[in-house]
Amino acid sequence: MEILCGRFTLFATYQYLISDFDIQEMFEEAYYEESYNIAPTHNIVSVINDGTKNRMGYLKWGLIPSWAKDEKMASKMINARSETVDEKPSFKKSFYQKRCIIPMDSFYEWKREGKMKTPMRIKLKDDSLFGVAGLWDSWKAPSGEVIHTCTILTTQPNELMAEIHDRMPVILPKEHQKEWLNPSNQDKEQLKSLLVPFPATQMLAYEVSNKVNSPRNNSAELIQRVI
């Protein structure tokens, strides 16, 4: 099956983001852009902790490990399987040292039915923001430019997602976000215990327009339920 998670939304207000993720250091509000169709290679809002405070910035979606010779692998590194994330050379160092959270208010997935692929929007029932577990790294290009990139962690699907896809992003409950971001936490078993399916009872999925298929389309129309 194709990779997940490959498209999501973030249209919450700047102030809501700051409050909800307890941000103490952030970029200026003028740089914040809401989006209804965030895709790989885009710069995405991300949260890290520097040991004392939560910081919000942009990371390019598609991880390039610091040791990579070029950036070609980024397109294949938009997701990391939580089951093996501590073993894979591309992710292992970041798993222990460079963890992040990617804020979302929903994500899209395509439900296969025969040859048909139906776009679905998946969100929390209460419409609240949620944080997805991620990893980040910094890569120095031959030009000398340093590029900061990230990947999204996936896990087994819950009952809701199993009807749509065989994977789902790791949504971290509020009470687990601080543990995940804490850079001094390198307890493999404890960290991996956080990478589990979010309760299906708190989530909702519905069909949306095929217009979401193209990242060029980006408007509130994309999140409307198809009736």
Among the listed residues 2, 28, 109, 145, the single catalytic one is: 109
Among the listed residues 2, 5, 145, 159, the single catalytic one is: 5
What is the Rg, in whole angstroms, of the alpha carbon atoms belonging to the chain?
A: 17
Over the stretch 180-195, which tens digit does the pLDDT of each residue have? 999 999 999 999 999 9
Contact (Cβ atoms closer than 8 angstroms) between residue 29 and residue 14: yes
Over the stretch 92-145, which tens digit does the pLDDT of each residue have? 999 999 999 999 999 999 998 888 999 999 999 999 999 999 999 999 999 999
Instruction: Answer whether residue 73 shows pLDDT above 90.
Output: no
> How many angstroms separate the CA atoms of 29 and 12, rounded?
12
Active site residue 5: yes
Segments making up each domain of the chain, as ranges: 8-223
Strand-pair partners of 96:
none
pLDDT, greater one: 115 or 42:
42
pTM of the entire predicted model? 0.95
What is the residue whose two structure tokens read 């896990």? 155
Tokens standing for residue 103: 């804020």
Maximum CA pair distance of the chain? 51
Q: Is the dihedral of CA 175, 180, 181, 184 positive or negative?
A: positive
Instruction: Answer whether residue 41 shows pLDDT above 60.
Output: yes
Over the stretch 74-94, which tens digit does the pLDDT of each residue have? 888 999 999 999 999 999 999
> How many angstroms separate the CA atoms of 182 and 52, rounded?
9
Instruction: Answer whether residue 2 shows pLDDT above 80.
Output: no
Which CATH number does 8-223 carry?
3.90.1680.10
